[in-house]
Amino acid sequence: MTDYVRPSYTDLNSRIEADLAAMPAVLRGPLSAAWARACHSQHGYLDWIDAQCSPLTCELERLYDWAALYGVDRLAATAAIGNALATGTLGAQLLAGTLLRGPNGLDYEVLAAVTIGAGATPVSIRCTATGGSGNLIAGQILTLVDPVPGCANNLTIDAFGITGGAEDELLEDWRVRVADEWQVVTTRGARSGKPDDFRFWAKTAHPSVTTALIQPHALGIGTVAVRPICNGLTDRLPTPAVLDAVSDYLLNTAPATADWRVAAPVKRAVAVSIHLLPGFDTAPNRAAIADAVNAIVLAESSETSLLAVAEIDAAIATVTTQYNRIAPLADTAVAASEVLVLDPIAWV
């Protein structure tokens, strides 16, 4: 059986005009053109219907319908959350709902009232806007929008930062999750706590999670270690907010008897050193090589990942073959709890 190929308007017009060969030319041309346009529209509609029959090819509106059937909602953008350290007069109060302004121009809301104690007092805050722009690193300063009696005007973000902000799930990532659930439901009937199930649940818990390392029996018989991987975050490691989101999701989804733990993967650094020949050592070449090598590192995301030197050479060769690879000299294998992370490439 050959694949169906939609005929073009020109093909349809030629075929219809040939069928009307006995008709006078003055009628044959306009009639064949009109009929070809109508038939071409019909073929287009049939193409559209065929595409809607699968979540792999359907349009966005139909994808919402497919997702509703299998309970795979699109992950909405999340707000960054964390703690800031407040100082001031002993006993002064900072009430819930108090607004602070960040260095990024966004506002952050105090989630629970606190009483200022001796030293720095942790204050739970959340960005009022969703998205990754609300994430802040440790040590940055938040300023009270309106002064609060007895409280210092500036609060310092604690060592864990304000994290967990992410954009809406990408359409194609959502499509893959819908198709994944469709395949599981039709082949197994339901998710029961197999390793792939925990991986799927981790990806469903937060839009920053790309995949996860799953280690059955890592902490004893019957235990499961879940280590989320976030390719879009620093060193591919989940932030505290992401780990909390995965834990909360598993509490409500995993089987009641499952004994699981959520933790960050262990970073396994990949150190690459390259010497480009003088005529080819250009900034564009360096940038392209760094992107190519990083792409193959990001593609390694399993408990048995192995980054071969041949893969690194192949990635570099997509840009130029005029180079010498100084390091690594051997393949890089991971332990079950490790994730590969590319260090900045050394150019020698």
The answer to whether domain 79-157 and domain 191-264 are alike in fold is no
Percent of the chain with pLDDT over 70: 99
Nearest CA to 63 out of 200, 187, 176, 199 is that of 176
Q: What is the pLDDT of residues 155-174, one digit of tens each?
A: 999 999 999 999 999 999 99
Structure tokens at 161: 């930062």
- For tokens 């306009």, the residue is 30
pLDDT of the residue at 214: 96
Q: What is the pLDDT of residues 105-137, one digit of tens each?
A: 999 999 999 999 988 999 999 999 999 999 999
How buried is residue 131: exposed, middle or buried, by Cβ count under 10 Å (0-12/13-18/19+)? middle
Residue-averaged pLDDT of the chain: 93
Amino acid at site 9: Y
Cα(191)–Cα(180) distance, integer angstroms:
11
SS3 label, residue 262: strand
Locate the domains of the chain by residue range.
9-53, 60-75+168-189, 79-157, 191-264, 267-347
Nearest CA to 144 out of 178, 112, 102 is that of 102
pLDDT of the residue at 2: 58
Compute the average pLDDT of residues 191-218.
93
Fold classified for 79-157: Elongation Factor Tu (Ef-tu); domain 3 (2.40.30)
Confidence class for position 22, pLDDT limits 50, 70, 90: confident
Asked whether 313 and 322 are in contact (CB, 8 A), the reply is no
Compute the average pLDDT of residues 178-204.
89
pLDDT of the residue at 259: 93
pLDDT of the residue at 148: 94
Confidence class for position 270, pLDDT limits 50, 70, 90: very high
Compute the average pLDDT of residues 33-43.
88
- Architecture per CATH, domain 191-264, reads as 2-Layer Sandwich (3.30)
Indicate if the pLDDT at residue 147 is higher than 80. Answer: yes
Structure tokens at 32: 């064949």
Q: What is the pLDDT of residues 41-83, one digit of tens each?
A: 888 888 889 889 889 999 988 999 999 988 899 999 999 999 9
Q: What is the pLDDT of residues 285-327, one digit of tens each?
A: 999 999 999 999 999 999 999 999 999 999 999 999 999 999 9
pTM value is 0.77
In the chain, the DSSP E strands lie at 79-86, 93-94, 99-101, 107-110, 114-115, 121-130, 141-144, 154-157, 211-216, 223-229, 259-262, 266-270, 273-276, 306-307, 323-327, 332-333, 338-342, 346-347
Q: What is the pLDDT of residues 322-341, one digit of tens each?
A: 999 999 999 999 999 999 99
pLDDT of the residue at 1: 46
pLDDT of the residue at 131: 94
**Which residue would you say has higher pLDDT here, 2 or 65?**
65
pLDDT of the residue at 32: 87
Indicate if the pLDDT at residue 236 is higher than 60. Answer: yes
pLDDT of the residue at 294: 96
